[in-house]
């Protein structure tokens, strides 16, 4: 993997952990920011920063500490599809605005907070790569099924955040590349309720997903900055 230091925000997730393990195996310095305390299975060599309640005041100190390791790649893996509060809506009649607000918090506001705090680093670090986990389902042009209102809306907004930021960053650092990336359907708690009817071969292990995302990272070109990418590196229209 290019570079020898990586920062994974939302790094206690299954995909975040798989990325961390694979990068660590190549000798990279791994830093993790997570709401959760250090996981028992986490490599003791990883630098782990628990940001239990992300706010500008709380998160800034963790970002500052993690950036001491000068990451050349930053993954942002925060996001929620469903939880004990509710499942994705099949119809707008099921929309609960309180749950919508929480999905926007997890899928948009928290990543936006971290990107704001990373702005100075991103604009002053040559060849920095930032990959923000998003979803193909957040593509407006690709939406032919409807439903899943809260998740679709929050991911569409996240894709706009990445596009907007890429334009601003390019004015200050034309070597930076910031993309949203659809990791594909991965065998994690997020996808378990929806795995039953998947075509054979579509469901990937977290390890396979991490491998694919790191391959995309290796092949990133500045010309793709601001794009929503599929797991294979192809561009998904917004």
Tell me the pTM. Answer: 0.94
Q: For residues 99 and 106, give the distance between their C-alpha atoms in angstroms, rounded to a whole number.
A: 11
Beta partners for residue 229, in sequence order: 181, 235
- Letter string b/e over residues 85-103, b meaning 16 or more CB atoms within 10 A of that residue's CB: ebebbeeeeeeeeebbebb
Report domain extents, the chain: 5-236
User: Could you list the pLDDT tens digit for every one of the 238 residues in the chain?
Assistant: 445 899 999 999 999 999 999 999 999 999 999 999 999 999 999 999 999 999 999 999 999 999 999 999 999 999 999 988 899 999 999 999 999 999 999 999 999 999 999 999 999 999 999 999 999 999 999 999 999 999 999 999 999 999 999 999 999 999 999 999 999 889 887 677 777 776 766 788 999 999 999 999 999 999 999 999 999 999 999 8
DSSP 175-193: T-EEEEE----BSSTTTGG
Rg (CA), the chain: 17
Architecture of domain 5-236: 3-Layer(aba) Sandwich (3.40)
């Amino acid at each position: 993997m290019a570079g020898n230091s990586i920062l994974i925000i939302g790094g206690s997730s299954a995909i975040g952990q798989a990325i961390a393990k694979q990068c660590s195996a190549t000798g990279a310095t791994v830093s993790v920011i997570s709401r959760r305390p250090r996981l028992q299975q986490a490599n003791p060599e990883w630098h782990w920063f628990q940001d239990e309640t992300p706010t500008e005041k709380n998160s800034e100190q963790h970002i500052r500490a993690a950036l001491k390791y000068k990451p050349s790649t930053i993954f942002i893996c925060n996001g929620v599809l469903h939880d004990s509060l509710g499942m994705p809506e099949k119809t707008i009649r099921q929309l609960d605005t309180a749950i919508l607000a929480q999905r926007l918090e997890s899928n948009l506001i928290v990543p936006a907070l971290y990107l704001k705090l990373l702005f100075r680093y991103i604009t002053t670090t040559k060849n920095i790569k930032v990959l923000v986990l998003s979803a193909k389902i957040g593509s407006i042009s690709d939406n032919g099924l409807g439903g899943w209102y809260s998740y679709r809306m929050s991911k569409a907004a996240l894709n706009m955040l990445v596009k907007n930021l890429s334009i601003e960053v390019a004015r200050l650092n034309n070597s930076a590349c910031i993309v949203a990336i659809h990791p594909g359907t991965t065998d994690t708690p997020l996808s378990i309720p929806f795995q039953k009817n998947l075509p054979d071969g579509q469901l990937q292990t977290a390890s396979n997903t991490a491998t694919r995302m790191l391959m995309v990272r290796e092949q990133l070109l500045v010309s793709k900055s601001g794009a929503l990418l599929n797991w294979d590196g192809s561009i998904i229209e917004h």
